[in-house]
């Protein structure tokens, strides 16, 4: 497979950002977020209704228009790492030609290295905050790769941006459903003198990413495995526990024993903060990892026990956060990131994040909703859960170093439950 770049340009907002908005302040959660990019890749099969030349022009024009609503994405991180200079510097926009048909690409079970060719890889997180790559396949199908800086957005908000861009392309006007209020999260949760992200990533090991698919029937089997309780276990909890148990087995192989380990899922604060509720449409990073501790001398290393541990800890955390002050939440966020950093140093941690129920399959640019949506892998240990197209199964994108991945994918439970 060969991907040839046809053009590269920087797209600026169609209207200049007002002077009173030229400094977008970051919150403590933006400050703590990893210095990395979030990737979404949307696959659209060809249609006789698509005029490639006309479509290219529409995509550029609508992107310019939508950036007036999401203006921080067209800016640059300031040297102090506490704000975005919203000077309309622009987002990077690439167009490519791919020398195979999309059906052939998908039938080969795409390798992560090939998927990464479909996104523009930014050179520096402070340089460009958003990169868009429009790939035209031999058959006329479009694949759109979008990479957003984690310093200014999260997965949910990146999906919202893409949906509004799609709506603008399809109709020529804003839908009014997705534009965010930039509602002073820096005032509610101001940054602190802690430097950049507390998480540092070691680059010496080769990281590989693989996709593991859990169908609706598989998840039902996991639910039966847990047994009857007085409530229904969520898909995300059931899958998270399965993967976490396999990762603990990986750690056991490396260390020779079952150690105390930490699970740190990302949790959104939207709708959960009691004293000063955070808007559902707030833009930026409105989340942080909360900590779930497995202590080998206090509980059995069993799947059912892990499900219960995840559920109990999550319930207690949500209850705590509904009553906590903004200062208490900020303090806990800093402490959580610090503990995650220590776990990384001991090489026994993988972050979990769930994009399930995100509107990633809603982006219709005028030729229908995407046939498939994927991520593009990570450069560090990470597990991302994404809905399948139907919405009742889950795709788990797991990034580990090569040796760990070999042990993980040959774990008994992974072989039994995941394809």
Q: pLDDT tens for residues 317-357?
A: 999 988 888 899 999 999 999 998 888 888 777 789 999 99
Those residues whose C-beta lies under 8 Å from the C-beta of residue 142, and which sit 6 or more positions away, are 44, 46, 50, 55, 134, 135, 136, 365, 367
Has residue 37 got a pLDDT over 80? yes
Distance (Å, whole) CA 385 – CA 83: 30
Asked whether residue 402 is domain-assigned, the answer is yes
Q: Please give the pLDDT value at position 111.
A: 87
Angle at 236 between CA 232 and CA 240, to 5 degrees: 115
Same domain, 91 and 180: yes
Q: Are 169 and 66 in contact (CB under 8 A)?
A: no
**Number of domains within the chain:** 2
In a shared domain, residues 177 and 227: no
Residue ranges making up the domain that contains 362: 207-417
Chosen domain end from 188, 216, 246: 188
Confidence of residue 407 (pLDDT cuts 50, 70, 90): very high
In this predicted structure, the answer to whether residue 179 has a pLDDT above a threshold of 70 is no
User: Tens digits of per-residue pLDDT, 62-72?
Assistant: 999 999 999 99
Q: From residue 43, how far is each of 98, 118, 350, 389 by CA, in Å?
A: 13, 10, 28, 12
**Mean pLDDT of all residues in 32-43:** 92
Are the CB atoms for 179 and 70 separated by under 8 Å?
A: yes
Same domain? 214 vs 84: no
Whether 253 and 160 map to the same domain: the answer is: no
3-state secondary structure of 363: coil
d(CA 419, CA 417): 7
221 and 317 together in one domain: yes
**CB contact set of 417 (below 8 Å; sequence gap of 6+):** 214, 218, 221, 222, 242
Higher pLDDT, 231 or 11: 11
CATH number of residue 230's parent domain: 3.30.559.10
Instruction: Mean pLDDT check: name the lowest of 18-32, 120-134, 229-243, 271-285.
Output: 271-285
What are residue 148's phi and psi, to 5 degrees? -120, 140
Q: Does 373 share its domain with 400?
A: yes
199 touches 34 (CB < 8 A): yes
On whether both 141 and 244 belong to a single domain, the answer is: no
Quick one: 116 and 262 in the same domain? Answer: no
Q: At what angle do helices 303-321 and 235-255 cross, to 10 degrees?
A: 120
Query: Do residue 131 and residue 219 come from a single domain?
Result: no
Residues 378 and 291 in one domain: yes
Q: Cβ atoms within 10 A of the Cβ of 173, count?
A: 10
Choice among 39, 150, 186, 411 that is catalytic: 150
Q: What is the pLDDT of residues 206-236, one digit of tens each?
A: 889 999 999 999 999 999 999 866 678 899 9
- Give the DSSP per-residue string, 217-242: HHHHHHHHHH---SSPPPHHHHHHHH
Backbone phi, psi, residue 408, to 5°: -60, -50
- The verdict on residue 193 lying in a domain is no
pLDDT at 314: 95
Domain boundary among 125, 153, 188: 188
The residue from 137, 161, 188 where one domain ends is 188
Whole-number percent of the chain with pLDDT over 90:
64
Same domain for 29 and 178?
yes
150 is an active site residue: yes
**Rounded percentage of the chain residues whose pLDDT exceeds 70:** 91
* Residue 62 domain-assigned (yes or no): yes
Beta pairing, strands 130-137 & 91-98: parallel
Q: What is the pLDDT of residue 349?
A: 72
**Does residue 194 sit within a domain?**
no
Considering the domain boundaries, does residue 198 fall inside one?
no
Looking at every residue in the chain, the average pLDDT score rounds to 88
At residue 418 the predicted structure's pLDDT band, cuts being 50, 70 and 90, is confident
Per-residue pLDDT, 35: 85
Quick check: is 196 in a domain?
no
Question: Residue 258's pLDDT band (boundaries 50, 70, 90)?
Answer: confident
Question: Do the domain assignments include residue 201?
Answer: no
Query: Residue 203 pLDDT > 60, yes or no?
Result: no
pTM: 0.93
Rounded to an integer, the average pLDDT of 226-253 is: 90
Q: What pLDDT, in 10s, does the model give residues 286-306?
A: 898 999 999 988 889 999 999
Residue 257: inside a domain: yes
Q: What does the pLDDT read at residue 209?
A: 93
At residue 346, the pLDDT reads 80
| The pLDDT of residue 79 is above 90 | no
Per-residue pLDDT reduced to its tens digit, 95-114? 999 999 999 999 887 889 99
Which of these is catalytic: 347, 364, 388, 413?
364
Is-catalytic flag, 364? yes
181, pLDDT greater than 70: no
Q: Which two tokens stand for residue 11?
A: 């797209």
In a shared domain, residues 53 and 153? yes
Q: How confident is the model at residue 129 (pLDDT cuts 50, 70, 90)?
A: very high
pLDDT at residue number 296:
87
């Amino acid at each position: 497979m060969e991907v040839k770049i046809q053009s590269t340009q920087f797209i600026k907002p169609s209207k200049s950002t007002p002077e009173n908005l030229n400094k977008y302040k970051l919150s403590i959660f933006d400050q703590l977020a990893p210095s990395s990019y979030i990737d979404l890749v949307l696959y659209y099969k060809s249609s006789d209704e698509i005029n490639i030349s006309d479509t290219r022009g529409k995509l550029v024009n609508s992107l310019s228009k939508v950036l007036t609503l999401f203006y921080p994405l067209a800016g640059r991180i300031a040297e102090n790492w506490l704000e975005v200079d919203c000077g309309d510097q622009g987002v990077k926009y690439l167009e490519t030609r791919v020398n195979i048909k999309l059906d052939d690409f998908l039938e080969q079970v795409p390798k992560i290295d090939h998927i990464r060719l479909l996104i523009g890889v930014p050179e520096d997180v402070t340089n460009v905050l958003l990169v868009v790559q429009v790939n035209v396949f031999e058959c006329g199908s479009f694949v759109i790769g979008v990479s957003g800086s984690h310093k200014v957005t999260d997965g949910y908000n990146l999906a919202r941006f893409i949906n509004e861009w799609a709506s603008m392309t399809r109709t020529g006007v804003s839908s009014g459903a997705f534009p965010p209020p930039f509602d002073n999260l820096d005032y509610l949760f101001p940054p602190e003198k802690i430097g950049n992200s507390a998480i540092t990533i070691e680059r010496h090991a080769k990281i590989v990413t693989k996709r593991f698919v859990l169908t609706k029937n598989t998840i039902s089997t996991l639910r039966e495995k847990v047994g009857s309780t007085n409530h229904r276990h969520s898909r995300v909890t059931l899958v998270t526990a399965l993967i976490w148990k396999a990762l603990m087995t990986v750690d056991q192989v490396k260390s020779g024993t079952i150690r105390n380990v930490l699970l740190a899922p990302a949790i959104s604060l939207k709708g959960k903060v009691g004293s000063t509720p955070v808007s559902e449409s707030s833009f930026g990073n409105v989340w942080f990892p909360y900590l779930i501790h497995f202590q080998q001398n206090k509980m059995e290393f069993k799947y059912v026990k892990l499900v219960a541990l995840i559920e109990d800890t999550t319930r207690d955390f949500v209850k705590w956060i509904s009553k906590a002050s903004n200062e208490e939440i900020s303090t806990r966020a800093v402490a959580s990131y610090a503990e995650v950093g220590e776990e990384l140093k001991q090489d026994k941690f993988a972050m979990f994040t769930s994009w399930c129920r995100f509107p990633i399959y809603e982006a219709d640019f005028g030729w229908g909703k995407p046939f498939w949506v994927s991520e593009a892998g990570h450069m560090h240990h990470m597990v991302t859960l994404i809905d399948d197209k139907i919405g009742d199964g889950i795709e788990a994108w797991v990034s580990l170093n090569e040796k760990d991945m070999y042990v993980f994918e040959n774990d008994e439970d992974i072989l039994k439950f995941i394809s």
